[in-house]
Copies of this chain bind each other. A is one copy, B any other.
Amino acid sequence: MPFQPAFQDIAHLGHVELFTPKPEESLAFFTNIVGLHESGCQGDSVYLRAWGDYEVYSLKLTAAQTSGMGHVAFRTKIAEVLTQLVDYLTKQGVTGTWLDSEYGHGPAFRVASPDGHPVELYYETARFVPPPALAPGFKNQPQRYIPHGIAPRQLDHINILAQDVQANRVFFHELLGLRVTEQIIFDDGTEVGAWLACTIKSHDFTITQDRSNARGRFHHLAYFMDSREDVLRAADILVENSVAIETGPHKHTIGQSFFLYCYEPGGNRFEAVAGGYLILAPDWQPVVWTQAERAKGQAWGLQTVQSCHTYGTPPVE
């Protein structure tokens, strides 16, 4: 039987590369305020990880002319699946390029989403080995928990913007096997948002409509906190550091997670998120939200702030 991409062939979201025109300020934000740990640096990039990330990095921060996402990378469940996915993509007419091993992982196959976002697939990776000072007190976590800054546990998900949500949703669902968990479909049939998952989490990857004419833009990346109290504490930390909170803490209707949004100095949106639900049903059917339902705002009635609908990176000229 020929290979068909299936749910969980992609094991998880691996890392994100963010471009920043203010690399020093962005780095200071992610290390001092968010509390990520620096793993290393190469060229114009610094590699960062949260204390619970098992790989060497989950965030690659790259100095650039503007903001936005450099690329997003997913790790396949086994080496063989990477090969099979690449073959499959090629047969489906998706053009891609093999990239040599780089800092923290082995060869990656890079393709573009229908909207032009660079997407990498890889399997071989470098597991983080803590130096003695970071050896964990709890053997089943990758490193010591350091209560410095917001201190999230691990990378949770990203949200890209797309001119055509449906085309991108089809790409990630049908060609990469992600599960579609929730969708927003407006009265005229336009799909304006799609939540997808590699795992039983409610989402690892979100696509929402870009209301500008730009392509390949980025909405946000989210790091996971263990509790909603942690998100509330993060809000205080942001205020104490004069970082404006765009919205929240509040509960997302979609995904039921507890979140807040702010911007890192380079302009990219950052989310601290906790909670949400796990999907055990293997035959889960996407929950589809209507235009009227979305007009009700977030879970407890907070209207979605306008900038959430319009602001993405890089900025539109």
Contacts and interface: CB of A to CB of B under 8 A. Distances in A.
25 contacts: A8-B8, A11-B280, A11-B282, A12-B280, A78-B283, A136-B240, A137-B239, A137-B240, A137-B241, A138-B240, A140-B253, A140-B256, A140-B277, A141-B256, A147-B148, A147-B233, A148-B148, A199-B280, A228-B228, A229-B230, A239-B300, A245-B301, A249-B249, A249-B300, A260-B300
A275 B229 CA distance: 12
Given A147-B149, A282-B78, A137 B242 contact: yes
A36 to B, nearest CB: 14
A254 interface: yes
Contacts of A232: 228, 251, 258
Interface in A175-225: 182, 199-202
Given A245-B300, A245-B301, A301-B244, A139 B256 contact: no
A179 to B, nearest CB: 11
A145 interface: yes
A54 B287 CA distance: 13
Interface residues of A, number: 74
Q: Do most interface residues of chain A lie in helix, strand or loop, or is the interface mixed? A: loop
Contacts of A239: 137-138, 299-301
A278 B52 CA distance: 10
A235 interface: yes
A44 interface: no
A123 B236 CA distance: 33
Contact of A229 (B144, B227, B299): B227
A138 B251 CA distance: 11
The 5 closest A-B pairs by CB, nearest first: A11-B282, A229-B229, A12-B280, A77-B282, A137-B239
Contacts of A146: 240
Interface string A290-311: 0001000001111000000000
A75 interface: yes
A150 to B, nearest CB: 8
A240 B144 contact: yes
Given A235-B299, A260-B300, 18 more contacts: A11-B281, A11-B282, A137-B236, A140-B202, A140-B253, A140-B256, A144-B240, A145-B236, A145-B237, A145-B240, A147-B147, A200-B201, A227-B227, A227-B228, A232-B251, A239-B300, A248-B300, A302-B302
